[in-house]
Amino acid sequence: MTTVRQHTTGPLRRRWAGPGFETFGSIFGFIYTFLAGNVLLAVANAPLVLCLALVADPAAAWPFFLALSVTVAPSLAGVFAAFRALNDDGGTVKPVAAFLRGYQRSFKRAAPLGLGAVAMLLFLGVDLAIIQAMPAAAALVPLIIVAAAVTVSLAVTAIAGVVLLPDASLKSTLKASIYLVVQRWFLSLAMLILLGIIVSAALLQPVLGVALAPAPLLFVVWSNASYAFHAVLRPA
């Protein structure tokens, strides 16, 4: 009987063994990266965050806030670099150092992407305000909204590409991003929904929205963009 008990309880002990150190380290890595990412995003976009907290109706002054958002693109590159380090290093990730390295390395390419996106959105926003009073508004407004959505999707996808493909030229990255935005339209739609949630949280509760929402949702955006790029680049 003793022998039987030994043989039966041994496997049970192994079956019910709790999560190991690597599992806890991985969980801590995610939490630490998300918390640090939110703080670093807030610091990198301090003028935008401060004005959102002080102005009662940001939507009424949308051109001003859109102009302030030129700082978002390099900070996105930084947080995407932190997410890439999280995937590579797991529980030993150093998100602050990864963010700063990604910000510095990608700034020269991410900043023009952000500036171009902001300029395009300003142009489309002014057009939208003018066209609303015209008879053709019903036909032109949806086109402007689609153009704005494509602009945002393309900019964010290209910033992810800058981090994933640091040696590629900006022109090549943009071409690949245009293809991915169209070919993986469902991922682009998911990205826009997640970005919309982040913007809504920041507008409704600037402090809590910036402190809690961006990093976890941006991690999903990054994961989808990374998957799309790797799916295209994977050898047949």
Q: What is the DSSP string of 71-129?
A: GHHHHHHHHHHHHHHHHHHGGG--HHHHHHHHHHHHHHHHHHHHHHHHHHHHHHHHHHH
Both tokens assigned to 27: 């969980």
Tokens at residue 143, please? Answer: 């086109």
pLDDT at 47: 93
Nearest of 199, 229, 169 to residue 59 by alpha carbon: 199
Q: What is the pLDDT of residue 189?
A: 94
In the prediction, which pLDDT does 36 show?
Answer: 92
Going by C-beta distance under 8 Å and a sequence separation of 6 or more, which residues neighbour residue 22? Answer: 90, 91
Instruction: Return the pLDDT at 211.
Output: 79
The pLDDT value recorded for residue 155 is 96
- The predicted pLDDT at position 236 comes to 41
Q: What is the pLDDT along the chain (236 residues), one digit of tens a residue?
A: 444 444 444 443 444 444 444 565 677 778 888 999 999 999 999 999 999 988 888 888 899 999 999 999 999 999 999 999 888 766 567 889 999 999 999 999 999 999 999 999 999 999 888 888 777 777 888 899 999 999 999 999 999 999 999 888 888 899 999 999 999 999 999 999 999 999 998 888 887 888 788 999 999 999 999 988 888 776 54
Could you give the CA distance from residue 132 to residue 198 in angstroms, rounded to a whole number? 27
Residue carrying the six token digits 């970005």? 195
Any idea where the domains of the chain sit in the sequence? 20-233
pLDDT at 29: 76
Structure tokens at 170: 């900006």
Task: Say what the pTM is.
Answer: 0.84
From the list 197, 202, 60, 200, the residue with the least C-alpha distance to 129 is 60
Report the distance separating Cα 194 and Cα 216, nearest Å. 10
On the CB side of 165, CA atoms within 13 Å amount to 21
DSSP state of 168: S
pLDDT value of residue 137: 74
- Nearest by Cα to 104 from 89, 121, 82, 137: 82
Query: How far does CA 196 lie from the centroid of its chain?
Result: 11
Q: Which residue has the tokens 């050898």?
A: 235
CA–CA separation, 166 and 160 (whole Å) = 10
What contacts 49, CB < 8 A, 6 or more positions away?
A: 42, 202, 206, 210
Per-residue confidence (pLDDT) for residue 136, from 0 to 100 = 74
pLDDT on residue 116: 95
Q: How far is CA 88 from the centre of its chain?
A: 18
